[in-house]
Structure 1
């Protein structure tokens, strides 16, 4: 089983939200060249980012690798119990795919050895 530290050398975009990823990779032409995330130019354009998937209980934290053809979950981990209150404070009982909260990002960076 993979551990989060196995992905420590990946170039993770900590600011990429699920919404930005859709705009960049699935809705080509929906953003301009001057935006924070310009349109992708080829299949070789790849992004790595985290999401929290709250469709199930407990929510899962996923590291996503996305290009213009597909999105793959590289690792999925249950959201730690001690971060559940922080996540619920921001998102309530909403079910869906969301950006990790600052607390969740801090935990991820710690697990990856960045903090």
Structure 2
């Protein structure tokens, strides 16, 4: 699937969370008037964002491009052991998709620059 470096020049929405993406792109009528995100008006509206995928044994980062028709996983990469352990602890070991925290974002940005 490639490396993080391939996406360093892409427009990334660092504030997008998995919950916000579902609300915006799958539940169009659920968009609050005071949202920090503009409403989706067509299938040409999209966002690129990262999420931490915690459904498997090893936590991993997914780079996702989502519009109203699909969520395309562009990249999946395991988190380094130390970061993965700290992240797992920060979410109580619960399975799910989570927004990246500061440590994960710093790691992603470092990987993009290397």
TM-score between both structures, scaled by the size of structure 1:
0.92
Structure 2 gaps, min length 5: none
Structure 1 gaps, min length 5: none
> How far did residue 87 of structure 1 move?
0.1
Contact in 2 for aligned 1:50/1:99 (Cα 8 Å): yes
Report the counterpart of residue 22 of structure 1 in structure 2: 22
> How far did residue 3 of structure 1 move?
0.9
Alpha carbon RMSD of aligned pairs, Å?
A: 1.5
- Greater relative CO, 1 or 2 (CA 8 Å, sep 6+): 2
Contact in 1 for aligned 2:59/2:88 (Cα 8 Å): no
TM-score between both structures, scaled by the size of structure 2:
0.92
Answer yes or no: is 1:43 the counterpart of 2:43.
yes
Q: What count of residue pairs does the alignment treat as equivalent? A: 114
> How far did residue 108 of structure 1 move?
0.6
SS at match of 2:6: helix
